[in-house]
Structure 1
Amino acid sequence: MTQDLKNQQPNNPTTQKPSNPKMTGHPNKLFVGGLSANTDDDGLRQHFERFGELIDHVVIKHKVQSRSRCFGFVTYAKPEHADAAMAARPHTVDGTAVEVKRAGMYVFMHAVKGTAFETPDQGKARLLTHWEQLDYGVQFTSSRKFFTISPIILYFLASFYTKYDTTHFIINTASLLSVLIPKLPQLHGVRIFGINKY
Structure 2
Amino acid sequence: MNRSLILGSTSLYRRELLQRLQMPFEVASPEVDESPLAGEAPWALAQRLALAKARAVAAAFPGAVVIGADQVADLHGQPLGKPGSHERAVAQLRQMRGQTVVFQTAVAVVCLESGFEQSDLAPVRVKFRQLSDPEIENYLRAEQPYDCAGSAKSEGLGIALLESIDSDDPTALIGLPLIRTCRMIAAAGIDIFARPKARP
Which TM-score band (shorter chain)? under 0.3
- TM-score, normalising length from structure 1? 0.20
Higher normalized helix content (fraction of residues): 2
- TM-score, normalising length from structure 2? 0.20
Structure showing greater radius of gyration is: 1
Relative contact order higher in (CA < 8 Å, ≥ 6 apart)? 2
